[in-house]
Amino acid sequence: MESMKATFAGGCFWCMQPPFRMTDGVIDSVAGYAGGTKPNPTYEEVSSGSTGYLEAVQVTYDPEKVTYENLLDVFWHQIDPTDSDGQFADKGSQYHTAIFFHNEEQKRIAEVSKKKLNESGTFNKPVATEIRPYTTFYPAEDYHQDYDRKNPDRYKEYKILSGREGFIEKTWDGPQEVRVYATPGCSGCRAVKEYLTSKNVKFVEINMAENEAARNFVIEKTGHIGSPVVQIGNEFIIGFDRKKMESLLKTIPRK
């Protein structure tokens, strides 16, 4: 079966590209602009909110490995679908959420998925995400592509401070990753990372020596300024506490 495309607008495309890219069966995930009419819009034009374009991600996927329903699940789990003004810290029409269907089957599946979410009781307000026919998509400038890889510290800082990360954790019962807040040369940090690796636990290392926002975040949450600090869900572990990590890791997905 040939590859297919799906297009989703979920607010800032920096935060929407990685979850799709990491989904099995996804061949490509491109940040860009969808739904407007002006040829080759620029970031500055779209950011003005006057072009009709939404920041979006276009996904190329293998339907034999991942279904459109699966992609919709990824989409819903990254956004606040009840926000009709934008997403988190970003407000304006360019940050509205939308599902752009490429064919009638995608439209049908999207409508069923939206109805299920509305009836699930997850939110106390109706889902505001629009289901719209796909018309246009232009890739964003190169510096916006894979922003999380090119600027990992700034990306993590933005995702936390914008409120998106906290919303995802609160709404969907736990984070998508374990975080190790570390500093260079820290023997305890090395021990924590070796332990998590031995347990096949996926984790993200954040260098507190270089990331002031992460440093302030840890101090605010724990009152502690040293390292390592391990975050699992809403719990923080100071130092290498094997017993506490073993207890909290039971609910964390493995590699």
Tokens found for residue 217:
């975040």
Q: Active-site residue 12, yes or no?
A: yes
Q: Which residues pair with 132 in a beta bridge?
A: 100
The set of residues, in sequence order, having a beta carbon less than 8 Å from that of 124 and lying 6+ positions away, is none
Which residue bears the tokens 């979850």? 19
The set of residues, in sequence order, having a beta carbon less than 8 Å from that of 211 and lying 6+ positions away, is 153, 156, 157
CA distance linking residue 56 with residue 96, whole number of Å:
10
Tokens found for residue 3:
């590859």
- Closest Cα to residue 9, out of 152, 140, 125, 193? 140
Catalytic annotation, pick one of 12, 15, 186, 189: 12
CA distance linking residue 101 with residue 131, whole number of Å:
7
Give the residue numbers marked as catalytic.
Answer: 12
